[in-house]
Amino acid sequence: MSFDFEKALTKIPDNPGVYLMKDKRDTVIYVGKAKNLHRRISQYFSGHDDRAFVSMLDDVLDRIDVIITSNEREALILEAGMIKRYRPRFNVVLKDDKEMLQLRIDPRDEWPRVDLVRRRKKDGAHYFGPYPSALACRMTLGVINRYFMLRTCRDIMFHNRVRPCLQYEIHRCPGPCVLEVDREKYAQNCRDAELFLSGKFDSLQEILKARMMAASEALQFEQAASYRDQLKAVEEVCASQKIVQKTPVNQDFWAMDGTPDFRTVVVMMVRNGRLQHMQTYEARDVLSSPEDIMSQIMVHHYQNFELFPNEVMLDQMFGNLGELLESTLESLAGKKISVVFPKKGIKSELLANAYANAHQQFIQRRTTEEALLERVQKTLHLSRYPHRIECYDISNMQGGQIVAAMVVFIEGRLDASRCRNFKVKTTEGQDDFGSLNEVLTRRLRYLVEKPDSDEETLSASEKSFCEMPDFLLIDGGHGQVNAVVEAVQAAGLYGAFDIIGIGKARVQEQTDVQTVEHSPERLYYPDVPDPLILDQTCPEILLMANIRDETHKRAIGFHRKQRENAGLRSKLDEIDGIGPKRKSKLLNEFGSVREIARQTPEKLAQVAGISLALAQKILDEL
């Protein structure tokens, strides 16, 4: 039954607000905002939007819900929050905040450490970031660990060490886990690390120079050398960050380039007068104006920030956004942020540099990701554009601990939040076909039977399972493909998405050490006797192999974890009187079953709160 958009439009007001498109399972598939809801939604059915998902709306759309707001600024903020909440399958641009890492230090800890985290909490700790580049974040953490002498081990390891680790031996940690360490000296290192992470390099350099000279004058040459190394590390980081402003200002330069169907947006972040990071976003939206796209991306970008700029630079073409963005950013930052449209001077030059980067990113990305998926659809003879690709693989060892992995690629990119693991429950023995059938039957149930819970209460797994795939890739040949087809037919979904198996390249012949021949990667189709063999260097087969390898790696990792967990728990599970809470407490305190076995009965009784007799029984069993 087609969606009756004319009837739906009669109920849509002309107010500003947010609209939620839902499918027949009441799952949110797209979220958007509009200054005029009625006019914006009517554009989807005018025939002028050629985005792939718009052509599917007539078949998948069931209803459109709207939330009216007082003004466009409220709609802008609400839209970003709704996208993060529902993670709709067709909203591509504003769902990548999970990849933005932050660094966390809690100075209230007895011995603080620097943690990598993805979410900022209101816990009193100090957060730095987020870092648009995960590589830059990890490199920064590496500098901290190498030169600022803070512990790196987690609390459970820290409290159970009996001797210093390798970090102490290579002079990167003072070893507070087991050694007497000067607390004030350690706190000083922590403060230095926070100055470094805050980008206050000038202040930190002055402090380190003064300490180095004082240590040298006191003939403490080893300590002076340590300060020298820290100073050198700070200077190297300063040198890697280009000075673009003479004054220590905090500014962001935004630029956009591309075509109506695909745009790239770049932000160059200047902190304390130095260019620190550059982040790129993509937008595929024919009907939205450049102003709407820019405002949506900017709100998404700044929602998790703490070190906001004082000024935001934009091109003249976005002049109408000035008042809206200033009020929106002020709501997010809690302070006044000026939106500037420079015409000349250094600000104008830096803005031109941002545009040059946006243009370069557009050229590179347009010719890779989007073109590749279009080629995949054509080369693999898919019936639809592969927005969501799901891949499945089974892992077991001689029929024991059978598990499966589901890996999801959205728009050609791995989406770890949607990937899932399965424990095979009913299939017995080493039966890959039966295991695949069971796993797909369980997964497809969510597309056939609507969960009893409201969408707001669904788990992450349930939300992911409620999304219809466009393409199923199976690790295996005809047997695996037929097992999946049987499950799909039983669910009544055959034809709703494409199904292809991919066979691994295997060694065919090896005449000597240097001469090895492999069979090609092969693609298996339902009801087609011969596999499709493509050029083994073409991007399409390389992408399929990459997806298959990612799934295989996840399945192997989950299987290994199950084996390890079974090995750790089995010995404690066999002891009467030890339940889940006591097992958890013992393992958290001592780290392993082996370490538990090394303790005295008195120590076990004291830590676990059990009788001396039970403690002795545990040691006897272990």
pLDDT, one tens digit per residue, over 427-454 is 877 788 999 999 999 999 888 876 555 5
Q: What is the pLDDT of residue 400?
A: 63
pLDDT higher than 60, residue 489: yes
* 123-127, 141-145, 338-342, range with greatest mean pLDDT: 338-342
Find the mean pLDDT for residues 160-170: 85
pLDDT tens digits along 56-115: 777 788 888 888 888 888 888 888 878 877 778 777 655 444 446 778 888 888 899 888
- The sheet carrying 274-283 orders its strands as 274-283, 262-271, 251-259, 311-313, 338-340
- CB–CB of 450/23 below 8 Å? no
Stronger pLDDT, 313 or 23, i.e. the higher one? 313
- Enumerate domains of the chain plus CATH numbers: 5-91 (3.40.1440.10), 120-240 (no CATH), 251-376 (3.30.420), 388-561 (3.30.420.340), 574-621 (1.10.150.20)
Q: What percent of the chain has pLDDT over 70?
A: 85
- CB–CB of 268/350 below 8 Å? yes
> Residues 6 or more apart from 58 whose CB is under 8 A from it?
2, 3
Stronger pLDDT, 430 or 213, i.e. the higher one? 213
pLDDT tens digits along 242-264: 556 667 788 999 999 988 777 88
Mean pLDDT lowest for which of 5-19, 83-97, 434-448, 599-613? Answer: 83-97
Q: What percent of the chain has pLDDT over 90?
A: 18
* 57-71, 104-118, 373-387, 592-606, range with greatest mean pLDDT: 373-387
Long-range contacts at 145-148 (CB < 8 A, ≥ 24 apart) = 145/114, 145/172, 146/172, 146/233, 147/229, 147/230, 147/233, 148/189, 148/190, 148/192, 148/193, 148/196, 148/230
Mean pLDDT lowest for which of 46-55, 252-261, 431-440, 580-589? Answer: 46-55
pLDDT band at 460 (very low <50, low <70, confident <90, very high): low
pLDDT higher than 80, residue 571: no
Q: How high is the mean pLDDT of the chain?
A: 81
Mean pLDDT lowest for which of 306-310, 327-331, 348-352, 494-498? Answer: 306-310
Q: What is the pLDDT of residue 228?
A: 85
pLDDT higher than 90, residue 389: yes
**Largest distance between two CA atoms of the chain:** 86
- CB–CB of 75/54 below 8 Å? no
pLDDT higher than 80, residue 46: no
pLDDT higher than 70, residue 191: yes
Find the mean pLDDT for residues 169-186: 88
* 214-223, 319-328, 557-566, 601-610, range with greatest mean pLDDT: 319-328
From the list 441, 543, 91, 60, the residue with the least C-alpha distance to 283 is 91
Question: How many Å apart are CA 584 and CA 581, to the nearest integer?
Answer: 5
pLDDT higher than 90, residue 609: no
Q: What is the pLDDT of residue 393?
A: 93
pLDDT band at 508 (very low <50, low <70, confident <90, very high): low
Q: What is the pLDDT of residue 95?
A: 47
What is the SS3 assignment for 541? helix
pLDDT higher than 50, residue 162: yes
Task: Give the alpha-carbon dihedral of 592, 593, 598, 604, to 10 degrees.
Answer: 90
Stronger pLDDT, 279 or 435, i.e. the higher one? 435
Find the mean pLDDT for residues 345-361: 88
Q: What is the pLDDT of residue 286?
A: 63
- Global pTM value: 0.50
Kindly report the CA angle at 582 between 579 and 585, in degrees rounded to 5? 145
Q: What is the pLDDT of residue 461?
A: 61
Phi/psi at 594 (nearest 5 deg)? -60, -40
